[in-house]
């Protein structure tokens, strides 16, 4: 039992020793003292309690102190608690100072908290970045399509990093400028002969206004000839006009057919009226006999005249068959 108790006491002692070293980073405190950074043990213990890694703060403070930056542990801890990247800010401040760029700690932390990589921004400010636009298709005044690719050289504007637009805005504005420049050309041959006109026109529009970058140059990397959009549009228009003309012709044909059928119906109606009228002739003759207006001899004379007329028509070939009114 005494052996188990001794082992338990030793275990408790080891755990307590490591917990003491965790909450009281003596080694880190000694490192800070030798580096000439004033950090108290109480501050390091407070960082542990506030769940701030003391190593990040102390090492960043040592780096800043060696670079001649006047910062305090409280400022770095505040930025860490706000969700910032403390080592990245320190690297950005050191790079800006070496490059004679006006960047203070407050501005650097604001850029970092805005979601931008402040260290990368400083690097782009020192060493400009080249952005290649996607293929931009535009049509010249003669209807020929041109496909252009541009390379935009930009430099980060430190003062505009907070609230300024990013690379996507630059690419969109440059693409719009290329389309406008090509569209204003009278012929695609002008663009192919002088592609620098595109870059000059686009560069003169001040496309970097309100962005986090300053456009240094716009170079047309490639210009390819695409489709003949003008001819294609004319073909489509001619095809559409042809369909309209065919539709109108079909409409007129349908109206003519309808009119023809209407006239046929009227002719049939007229023939029916004639037949109906001819059918009334025997009734009229019979009524004339009854009233005494027509005698037998008169009737025979009418029959002879009619037979003579039919014979003459038959001989001349102009006779037409029809119903006999006397039937």
Conformational region of residue 172, where left means phi above 0, alpha means psi within -120 to 50, and beta covers everything else: alpha
Rg for the chain, CA atoms, rounded: 53
Contact present, 124 and 156 (Cβ < 8 Å): yes
CA pair distance 165, 92, nearest whole angstrom = 20
Q: Going residue by residue through the chain (327 aa), what tens digit of pLDDT does each one get? A: 556 665 656 556 665 555 555 555 666 767 777 677 777 777 777 777 777 788 888 888 888 888 888 888 888 888 888 888 989 999 999 988 888 888 888 888 888 888 888 888 888 888 888 888 889 888 888 888 888 898 988 888 877 777 778 888 888 888 888 888 888 888 888 888 888 888 888 878 787 788 888 888 888 888 888 777 777 777 878 888 889 888 988 888 899 888 888 898 888 888 888 888 878 877 777 777 777 777 767 777 777 887 888 888 788 776 554 444 443
Contact present, 172 and 208 (Cβ < 8 Å): no
**Strand, coil or helix: what is 284?**
helix
139: phi then psi, degrees, rounded to nearest 5: -120, 130
CA pair distance 253, 311, nearest whole angstrom = 45
What residue segments make up the domains of the chain, in order of their start? 2-126, 130-231, 295-327
Contact present, 174 and 218 (Cβ < 8 Å): yes
Token pair belonging to 126:
């020192």
**For the whole prediction, is pTM greater than 0.85?**
no
For 130-231, CATH number out of 3.30.479.30, 1.10.10.10, 1.10.10.60, 3.10.28.10 equals: 3.30.479.30
């Amino acid at each position: 039992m005494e052996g188990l108790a001794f082992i338990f006491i030793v275990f408790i002692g080891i755990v307590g020793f490591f917990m003491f070293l965790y909450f009281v980073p003596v080694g880190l405190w000694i490192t800070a003292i030798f580096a000439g950074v004033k950090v108290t043990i109480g501050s390091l213990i407070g960082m542990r309690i506030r769940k701030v890694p003391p190593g990040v703060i102390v090492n960043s403070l040592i780096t800043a102190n060696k670079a001649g930056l006047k910062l305090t542990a409280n400022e770095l801890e505040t930025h860490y608690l706000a969700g910032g990247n403390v080592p990245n800010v320190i690297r950005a401040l050191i790079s800006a100072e070496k490059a004679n760029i006006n960047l203070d700690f407050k501005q650097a932390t604001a850029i970092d908290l805005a979601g931008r990589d402040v260290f990368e921004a400083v690097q782009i400010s020192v060493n400009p970045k080249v952005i290649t636009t996607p293929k931009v298709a535009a049509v010249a005044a003669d209807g020929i399509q041109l496909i252009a690719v541009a390379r935009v050289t930009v430099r980060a504007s430190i003062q505009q990093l907070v609230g300024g637009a990013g690379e996507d805005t630059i690419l969109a504005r440059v693409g719009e400028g290329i389309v406008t420049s090509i569209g204003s050309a009278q012929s695609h041959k002008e663009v192919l002969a002088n592609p620098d006109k595109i870059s000059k026109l686009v560069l003169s529009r001040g496309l970097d206004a309100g962005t986090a970058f300053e456009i240094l140059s716009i170079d047309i990397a490639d210009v390819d000839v695409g489709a003949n959009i003008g001819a294609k549009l004319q073909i489509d228009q001619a095809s559409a006009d042809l369909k309209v003309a065919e539709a109108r012709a079909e409409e007129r044909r349908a109206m003519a057919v309808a009119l023809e059928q209407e006239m046929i119906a009227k002719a049939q109606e007229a023939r029916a009226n004639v037949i109906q009228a001819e059918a009334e002739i025997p009734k009229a003759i019979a009524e004339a006999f009854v009233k005494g207006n027509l005698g037998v001899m008169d009737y025979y004379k009418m029959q002879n005249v009619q037979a003579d007329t039919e014979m003459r028509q038959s001989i001349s070939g102009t006779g037409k068959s029809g119903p006999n009114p006397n039937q």
